[in-house]
Amino acid sequence: MHGRPRKAPKPEDEAAATAKAQKLRALQTQFFSFHHSKIYTKDAVELSAKLLEINPESYTAWNYRKLAVEHYLSQPDCNPDSVKSVLNDELGVVESALRQNFKSYGAWHHRKWVLSKGHSSIDHELRLLDKFQKADSRNFHAWNYRRFVSELMNRSEKDELKYTEDMIYTNFSNYSAWHNRSVLLSALLEKKAEGFLSKENVLPEEYEFIHQAIFTDPDDQSGWFYHLWLLDQTVTIDYPLLVSTWPAHGSDVFLVGDRCQIGSSSPFTTLFSDSGSFPIVLYFNQPVEGVSSSTVSIECGFNKSKDLLWEPLSVSNSQTAQVWVAHLKFPTSELDSSVEVSVGHTKEIVSRRGFQYNHPSTFSFKVHVQPVERDSSQVSVAENILWREENFNVYGEQAEESIPIVSFDRLCIKNGHESAASNWRIEALAKEIECFRELLLLMDCKIGKLTLARLLTAYDAMLFPFANKLVHSEEVLELYNDLMKLDPTHHRYYKDEYSSVLLQKMTSSKESLLQHCFRYKDSVSSAIGNTICLRLNNLSLSRTRALEKLLWVQMLDLSHNELQSIEGLEAMQLLSCLNLGNNKLRSLTALEPLRKLKSLRVLDISYNQIGDHSIDTTRYLCCSPLSHSVGRELNKDETVINDVTLNYWEAFYVFRDLNLYQLDIVGNTIADEKFKPVLVKIMPTLKRLDGELLD
């Protein structure tokens, strides 16, 4: 176990194991006979005790003893003394089982069940726990049971906190003691117990405490995990905030029907809509629930509906999501109108942890509709969109002034948020940064580098929450580069974090983002007009993050990266053209976020690894026919023949709700001659497949 080679068993050990197995089989045969016949005599119950002494993991035997106890307690001649005697016998059986295996789930659960009956003394329990924790101070079963007993005894959480401190001083490497300390501190802070009124008073002392463990043995991971918990407590804002929207506050949105470009409007604010509606996107700092027409009000002169349907953009179909969207209908006639959106003026928007949205926010924008009649001279939507270098022109610095800065900055709202960061948080992070820089001067500690990278990232986010500054981004990127070399085992994790910081850096300001903005063909005759393409290709990105400032993007090039997941892209509701070619997408289920992109018309997923692997591990992370919800949806759809849903359920599930005009899938193992007709059948709107015009 844990990398240790197995030793060949000795002959006498094999003989003993064989004898034990024979005895166990005989006991089990007789036990199951009693169990199935519901026999609860004294001999039958004693037999189950013998079985559990040999095999404490026999869950059926523990359940049998519960049934036997309930049987005794239901007898008319049962009195308080006999009840106590029966339950004490159960505690004795548990102790015998724990001597064989003090990490037996069934034994610890049975002991909890007995004590919860309320007839047994609990004075003995802490003494018993002391024995087990001396034998193994990191036995998490014993720690879980200790929390249970402490609650029954109404034992002070402060006393238990002192106990964890004593255990930690005995052994700094006690994971369970550190974990129990975090549980107790969370409870004390939530209750605002005396001496624990705020994190400002408690966490700085905890940082000093953990430094003793970390600097004593930097290679021990238990203290680092507790430090990570402290960091999370320091930087996490309990209450949800609205951090970004589309349209942005103060912006002008130019709406043009049927993909025809309007004359002088900025390509950054022009939206092509062939559905007669446009999305309103709310991007929170954490997942929330309760976003609805009763918690979000919209005032405008062209849509009188008060009951807009708000949809959570969650791939898991949860009703809790970080991003929410509603679609607002606009008239076909010429229009100039203001729209005002008010969020959270009731108390129904709540985070997963139960904190209410308590910063009512208002943002407004202007909508300009100019109907354009389409004539026969205009290019068909079936025009082939090519992602070649020669088809893109640098947008140019001279156009910088035409881009409204609100498209790049975080949310500006009428009521204005107060800065969520308080001085003690910033001071705590600054002290930790200084501390770990000193540690790294003394030794080349990879977990120290990882912690410093996290601290610097959190410090920038907290010090400049709305200023789009990443003062330490270069240092953080260098730290992750070093970690990828020092610790290749966790290369993928470091690569994901590196990608996240790189994307944050590129989207941190208008100037940096303009370097990646290109005009496609620079021609209004194109099917996509003069829309700006954000090109984030050839950057070795392995993850898509920091998307709250990219809600305006309609054309995105993420090709020639190392993406295995596109989680988060569902927030970019305006996306109409997307290039994911030459990445490392391993399955069609990795494309599940695309199901939320109702405006998507052009998609390139060529030259990935879709179909290379016989076992699709990602299917267990998203919906499948084994899921009840998806199964019902598949059965309801009668337009696709059974063999399609049976053999290509991933394709059917991902593509059936998309209205793609153009799809490139060449270069994937799955893209054989049998698969392409399936795609055409699933997507009747498809006009081009792998560059070829369909009949």
**pLDDT tens string 327-375:** 988 877 778 889 999 998 888 999 988 889 988 889 999 888 876 655 4
- Predicted confidence at residue 470, as pLDDT, reads 76
Fold adopted by 536-695? 3.80.10
- Predicted confidence at residue 269, as pLDDT, reads 57
SS3 623: coil
Taking the C-alpha atoms of residue 310 and residue 327, their distance in angstroms, rounded to an integer, is: 8
In the numeric block, the tokens 């910033």 are attached to 426
Helix-helix angle 11-36:42-54, to 10 degrees: 150
- The per-residue pLDDT for range 217-237, each reduced to its tens digit, is 888 888 999 999 999 999 888
**Residue 328 — φ and ψ, nearest 5°?**
-105, 120
Per the confidence metrics, is the pTM higher than 0.85? no
Segments making up each domain of the chain, as ranges:
242-398, 536-695
Query: What does each C-alpha distance from 183 to 51, 160, 161 come to in angstroms?
Result: 36, 11, 9
Ranges under pLDDT 70 in the chain: 1-8, 12-13, 256-275, 303-306, 371-382, 396-421, 464-469, 522-530, 614-646
In the numeric block, the tokens 């290509």 are attached to 648
Q: In what order do the strands lie in the sheet with 392-394?
A: 392-394, 517-520, 532-535, 555-557, 577-579, 602-604, 662-664, 688-689, 692-693
Among 2.60.40.1220, 3.40.630.30, 3.40.50.1010, 3.40.50.300, what is the CATH number of 242-398? 2.60.40.1220
